[in-house]
Amino acid sequence: MLLKKMKIIIVAVTMLLCNFVHAQGSTEQAVKKQYISTEIIKADNNEPVIEMGMFIKMHAQQLIDDSLIADTRDGLPMYTIVDSSLYSSGLLETFLQSRKGDSIIGIIPTDSLQYKSHIPLAQNAKFFKTTIKIEEVFKDENSYKKDYDTELELVKLNEEKEKNTKKISEEKIIADYLNKQNIKTVKTKNGVFVQIIKKGSGKPTVKGQKLKVKYTGKTFSGEAFDSNIDPKFGHPEPFEFTIGEGNTIPGWEEGMLLFNEGGKGTLYIPSNMAYWKQGAGEDIKPYENLIFDIEILPASIKKIISPLEKRK
């Protein structure tokens, strides 16, 4: 359930953990030496110091210069074991000086990053700043795994609650838009609005069916972000996928089932059935509702085998 921001921060924190070199002195001196400047902000408590082999639960916040790009408090905490085989001596030393409640701040000059090219926002920035807050320390693997399972369930519950709340408002926004434009649609059970221009004279679409689709994707402002019809996007071949295999957004999976082969229409998809809070690239923002003009071309059938059938 890790979204675009979570993917960014995993890459970023992984770089921090892999490149951490303990440096003394100011940030300016650290930059001149191409080192990482580190600092431990001590919590006011009497917790024991972390020892080798313990498991750490932590949250991380990532900034590029002064811009916040990710925060794990949006989702699942990070977990790691304190092990000399995983970290440089500098970061290991930093962990072994820390306690539950402490924060570790690392500042990396972007020019010294080994994987700078993996993070577009870092290209013209000066500093990469990560703050790690040690939330909990576990002495054994079972305790850490139990905590992880609890946090994962909490994330899932919060995600579902947010989706349900957002679903109501997004469906209203789309319905108002369609009413204003006088567009007649059919609404699926999960809130995809489908305008059927041509039902299609071929076989009804079903789960397990392999489809070839011509499409143009747009935002509700009318701006096209992708198409295999418009030659300016450079990929004229039909998009091919199998319904039910999860290889495309849920709004497509559900909307296509209202057509036959040869069908043509438009899908009005709320963000929770599209790219949700992570968005996609620069053109599809988080929580963006989308429009797809589609035409279904004939293709072959691929049967989905149920778990019960697989056991036979």
- Give the model's pLDDT for residue 36: 62
Which pLDDT belongs to residue 59?
93
Residues 54-76 pLDDT 10s: 999 999 988 888 888 778 887 89
Tell me, what amino acid is at 136?
A: E
Q: What is the DSSP string of 158-171?
A: HHHHHHHHHHHHHH
Among 16-25, 228-237, 298-307, the range with the most confident prediction by mean pLDDT is: 228-237
Which candidate, 171, 166, 206, places its Cα nearest to that of 192?
A: 171
Per-position DSSP letters for 193-261, written without gaps between them: EEEEEE--SSPBP-TTBEEEEEEEEEETTS-EEEESSSGGGS--SPEEEETTS--S-HHHHHHGGG-BT
Tell me the CA end-to-end span of the chain in Å, nearest whole number: 32
More confident: 289 or 15 = 289
Q: Output the average pLDDT for the chain.
A: 81
Query: Where does 4-139 sit in CATH, by number?
Result: 3.10.50.40
pLDDT, tens only, 182-205: 999 999 999 999 999 999 999 999
Long-range contacts of 14-19, Cβ-Cβ distance < 8 Å, separation of 24 or more? 15/108, 15/113, 15/114, 15/115, 15/128, 16/106, 16/108, 16/128, 16/130, 16/132, 17/80, 17/86, 17/87, 17/91, 18/88, 18/114, 19/88, 19/108, 19/112, 19/113, 19/114
Q: Is the Cβ–Cβ distance between 291 and 178 less than 8 Å?
A: no
Residue with tokens 């149920």: 306
Q: What is the pLDDT of residue 124?
A: 72
Domains 4-139 and 166-305 in one fold:
yes
Length of the chain as a residue count = 312
Evaluate if residue 32 carries a pLDDT over 50. Answer: no
Q: Is residue 257 predicted with pLDDT exceeding 50?
A: yes
Q: Using 50, 70 and 90 to split pLDDT, how confident is the model at 121? A: low
Nearest by Cα to 116 from 16, 3, 7: 16
Q: Is the pLDDT at 263 greater than 60, yes or no?
A: yes
Question: What's the pTM value of the predicted model, to 2 decimals?
Answer: 0.58
| Topology annotation, domain 166-305 | Chitinase A; domain 3 (3.10.50)
Domain boundaries, the chain: 4-139, 166-305
In this model, does residue 117 exceed pLDDT 80? no
